[in-house]
Structure 1
Amino acid sequence: MKYFLYLLFLSTFFLQAEIAAKPNILFIIVDDLRPELGCYGNTLIKTPHIDKLATQSTVFDRAYCQQAVCGASRASFLSGLRPDSTRIYDIHTQLTSTQKDCLTLPLFFKSKAYETISMGKVYHHLSDDPNAWSRAPKMLTGSWHGKQGYVGDAYKQYSSTDWIPAGAEKRAAWECEDVPDNRYPDGALAEQAITQLERLKKDSQPFFMALGFSKPHLPFNAPKKYWDLYNPAELYKSTMTDWPKKMPRIAPRYSEELRNYSGIIQKREQIKGEIGLKLVHGYYACTSYVDAQIGLVLNSLDRLKLRDNTIVVLIGDHGFKLGDYGSWCKHTNFEIDTRVPMLISSPCSPASQTQSLSELVDIYPTLVDLCGFSIPEHCEGLSLKSILEKPSAELKNAAFSQYPRSQGKVMGYSIRSGKWRYTEWTEIATGKIKNRELYKHETSSIATHNEVFNPENKTLIKKLSQQLASGQGWKSKRRQ
């Protein structure tokens, strides 16, 4: 009996030691962050902290979301499933309403004795996937609570002639107040994340912390000092202010998201002049603001001596238009809406930059693989571990995205492959292809004209259509 107890003690001891040796995970999700960062070649924007992280990371230059809207995108990469599998294509549906038994990314790590923490906007809905977290996610509180992130009078500024959706609050699209960082939600979130890290440091249990920052999502609210970083005369101006030539009418989405805010031209036309410049200024200010908050959290990892055993992932959940094509926000299959920043910093991988195609749905299997666990069979992405070890390696020849139209009756399936973005608009009931798009992206994320009608591209289109396979072409590269 004593011998049995001794063996039991040893097995328990070694199991606990094995668990304690597993790396921690800090998963940073930034809302509406496009690859508008210093580490992605933007020499104007000021993002020193993300750029510093890039020097310790593999920077994925060609990473793509699976749908350019936050609810569907987050449901996809947190479940390891693509939108056609989650059956979520909007911001209203919760993952647990369509995938009740899904072993989500945080739930997987919870099952492996990790403490799982959700802070800020992780899922689109705070109440989604409640069993995945060791502690219930909590709403931040502050002087802006109930004012949707405003601290001053911008929440009340509106014109009686503004078009406002029924039931929506009338509020400005930006705010610039001379206040400390923690007066706005993301500053308070960073402080609370640091408090959690200090607590977790004292525990031998590994942790999975998902940290979701809301900026630079609209409204563009940030402390004045971040607005002051930029000269409005030097701000980004898109080289393409009209939709691509010969683009099908089903492809674009205009600026409906901006209709929730006052002081904006509420017509389907370009938002020109001072308003457009102010929006770009606000986006840049918010990006620098959230960069500073990320820096505070990462500095705390170093201060607490957690950095050497923590995998850090930083992503944007989808791209964003800043007046590109004369439009704003996201909600399309265009390159500029689907391409995202993605940085993975693993203690055992050297810093690098890679041109290898990757997708947000790859994050789940990658983290599982890096931590030495077996990848769940349901995962529809691929582990990027080989890319972290050898940046020139290639796992896939296409990245897949999609977006519905016509009240869900038509699905736009899109791939980025080589220098091309190819899209088919397919009638779901019949499988009939109603429209096609083909854009060349050699030096820019901006498309200029639809080349699908060029007879010289007939063979190319056939090849890309077979590769797309009605949105299911990713299955040919799925892990065997």
Structure 2
Amino acid sequence: MTATPTPSPARPNILILMVDQLNGTFFPDGPADFLHAPHLRALADRSARFANTYTASPLCAPARASFMSGQLPSRTRVYDNAAEFTSDIPTFAHHLRRAGYHTALSGKMHFVGPDQLHGYEERLTTDIYPADFGWTPDYTRPGERIDWWYHNLGSVTGAGVAEITNQLEYDDEVAYHAARKLYDLARGHDARPWCLTVSFTHPHDPYVARKRFWDLYEDCPALDPVVPPIAFEEQDPHAQRLMLASDHAASHVTDEDVRRSRRAYFANISYVDEKIGELLDVLERCRLSDDTIVVFVSDHGDMLGERGLWFKMNFLEGSARVPLMIAAPGLPAGRIDRAASTLDVLPTLAELVGLDLGGVLPWTDGESLVGPAKGTGERSPVPMEYAAEGSYAPLVALRDGPWKLILCDLDPPILTNLDEDPQELVNRAQDPACAGVMAAMTAAMDARWDLARFDAEVRASQARRHVVYAALRNGAYYPWDFQPLQKASERYMRNHMDLNVLEENQRFPRGE
């Protein structure tokens, strides 16, 4: 039996700040100049900033399972927003907890299935999305909209202002519980190092913001997309599928709808920035900043009307590129342009805190970013996968230097050069001048992926889940959604506690 590693008192704490659907093109080197995000800008100044970071899969549940495990969806089998994340896949929470860390989650991680912890010792809130198989796509019915849960453009046509929404209520709760947890950790009653993940649902649509944040963007120069809408028949085949899936033709989106949606989206970046600032302030006031690694990341991006597309679900830059900033003792601050992946967070954290991943590295798709941040190494070409709603067969992509190649058995390949064509408007796949690049990248992708096998595995998973979901909804229903428990009898003052001891233990920091 393998011995449990003993905790090291020298290991730093870890605070992971995750947001949802934040387009990485607005974080070219920290927040873009037009964004009112002072706390993220200050964090950027002391962080290694990975300017070209990509999601493993441009949809919530697959992206997050990959982020936590360092494995692509073809390994995790979390293909879509209703695919189970199985308990035998180690996450960074498992690795850290095994090494003696206290691990906790406040907020969203979109775990599907009965395991709602995946290595976290405690969870402070429930999730915002369901944990069952109800949102399972169906490749046997291509083109059929599942209206009750598929995206439509109501988020765009209904964009505007509100002081409270379902999403704002959730993120207010996430921030409150995270701050309370940081105070508890600071008191030092538990001697273990800790990893706290705080995961917000903003700036994910619907595009509705509080007025004080909305007002910050009245004269914003970025309210109009860089690339205007492209006609349906001129879009690539997958973009056409996404437009059909979002019921684009029935939505009648106006230019003003687009501007209001983008304005609310930017406003919600400012809202999240304020929440993050509050948490970083707790770190500072409780004397934890010097010993805490801070990671800021998103699960995927949002097209925000570029080319007439919305949300995510594709490999274009707006959807697939995300911000990633890491502030850590001994890690130089600065911009790194080499492409990186959200898959890399797990091995990067492991190297920063001295964990050995040798036993699982053969099944890991991520690579440590410590070397690239220090200028002593480079990350390999970055892979991505997508096999969820709006697709009729799996799509895969590879970012290698300036080149991005997208393959799907149903579609012609798409090859773009992001240095020359950052808006990805010119497909170079048939360009004779790119024949060498095309051949080399295709060979690399064929070596990595068997698309026919991938497709068969996705279809089998979908079929199983459709049977199980219908069965579990028939008769008595037991939900998998996480139910946070509050131990009210162990909080504040109770008669089994010594009042003097309680007051002394709960006061921190003391004095100057």
Q: Is the 8 A contact 2:150 2:246 kept in 1?
A: no
Question: Residue in 2 aligned with 1:4?
Answer: none
Structure 1 residues 138 and 186: alpha-carbon distance in aligned structure 2, compared to 1, 3 A threshold: closer
Q: Secondary structure at the match of 1:239?
A: coil
Question: Residue in 1 aligned with 2:212?
Answer: 225
Query: Alignment partner for residue 74 of structure 2, among 64, 80, 84?
Result: 84
Mapped partners of 1:178, 1:128: distance in 2: 34
Q: How does 1:55-454 map to 2 (within 5 A)?
A: 55-96=45-86, 100-125=87-112, 128-130=115-117, 132-139=119-126, 165-166=147-148, 173-178=158-163, 184-203=169-188, 204-231=191-218, 234-243=221-230, 248-254=236-242, 266-267=248-249, 271-375=253-357, 376-377=360-361, 378-390=363-375, 393-396=377-380, 398-404=381-387, 410-426=393-409, 434-442=411-419, 445-454=422-431
Mapped partners of 2:325, 2:317: distance in 1: 19
Structure 1 residues 38 and 437: alpha-carbon distance in aligned structure 2, compared to 1, 3 A threshold: closer
Structure 1 residues 165 and 410: alpha-carbon distance in aligned structure 2, compared to 1, 3 A threshold: closer
Q: Deviations over 1:394-417 (max 9, x none)?
A: 222x11112237987622211111
How does the TM-score come out when normalised to structure 1? Answer: 0.79
Structure 1 residues 316 and 168: alpha-carbon distance in aligned structure 2, compared to 1, 3 A threshold: closer
Structure with higher strand content: 1
Is 1:34 aligned to residue 23 of structure 2?
Answer: yes
Question: Residue in 1 aligned with 2:467?
Answer: none
Shift of 1:178: 4.9
Is 1:49 aligned to residue 39 of structure 2?
Answer: yes
Q: Is the 8 A contact 2:31 2:37 kept in 1?
A: no
Mapped partners of 2:271, 2:420: distance in 1: 29
Instruction: Extract unaligned runs of 5+ from structure 1.
Output: 1-14, 147-162, 260-265, 428-433, 474-480
Structure 1 residues 410 and 117: alpha-carbon distance in aligned structure 2, compared to 1, 3 A threshold: same
Give % identity.
Answer: 25
Structure 1 residues 270 and 319: alpha-carbon distance in aligned structure 2, compared to 1, 3 A threshold: farther
Instruction: Extract unaligned runs of 5+ from structure 2.
Output: 131-144, 451-512
Mapped partners of 1:221, 1:314: distance in 2: 23
Structure 1 residues 183 and 287: alpha-carbon distance in aligned structure 2, compared to 1, 3 A threshold: closer
Shift of 1:42: 2.1
Give the RMSD, CA atoms, in angstroms.
Answer: 3.3
Structure 1 residues 175 and 243: alpha-carbon distance in aligned structure 2, compared to 1, 3 A threshold: closer
Mapped partners of 2:421, 2:211: distance in 1: 32
Q: Secondary structure at the match of 2:284?
A: helix
Question: Residue in 2 aligned with 1:262?
Answer: none
